[in-house]
Amino acid sequence: MEPITLTTERLELRTFAPDDAEEVHAACQDPDIQRWIPAVPVPYEQQHAEEFVGLIVPDGWRSDTAYTFCVRPRGGGPLIASTSLHHPREGAWEVGFWTAKEHRGRGYATETVLGLAQWAFTGLGCVRLEWRAEVGNTGSRTVAEKAGFTVEGVLRSGIQSRETVRDCWVASLLPSDLGLVPAVPYLPARADA
């Protein structure tokens, strides 16, 4: 797929460009991002940021395996966050995100996730959007819950981080949770089944 740009009330979500590497590098110096985002190398060096914006992000778009967006204020401004849809399987996608430390607590991550969910359900035919985070990542869980995700439980040994397998929370968002018609009909389990 060719990269696209999405907008929300306050934000613009577009693909990363080589010029974004400096800001990505600066944001990923945050110990919380390094702690909770398994794909962020520790230590995070400039070459990692350049590889991310120059190779990893474009490869994901080309192969239709990950759609990664740079999040900035509408009309321009500093890097606020990074978000992606990844790991597509059977009509479901997983959402991931991080927010630069100086922009947390303003609702940007929730707005970003909802904008991405809207596109996933209406533009990609996604039938289920999943969120996963290592147990203990309460900031990420708060964003997922504010965006309307239903926490479904804990997956034992469900996420690999720094060569260690850890338990993770898993939650889902369905098109109907946002008042949208699903691309494929959904038949929930009956209580008496």
pLDDT at 192 over 80: no
Domain ranges of the chain: 6-127
Amino acid at 159: I
Per-residue pLDDT at 191: 76
Q: CATH 3.40.630.30: does it fit domain 6-127?
A: yes
pLDDT at 49 over 70: yes
Q: In what order do the strands lie in the sheet with 164-173?
A: 6-7, 11-14, 66-73, 81-89, 92-99, 128-134, 164-173, 150-161
Per-residue pLDDT at 193: 63
- pLDDT by residue (tens digit) across 79-118? 999 999 999 899 999 999 999 999 999 999 999 999 999 9
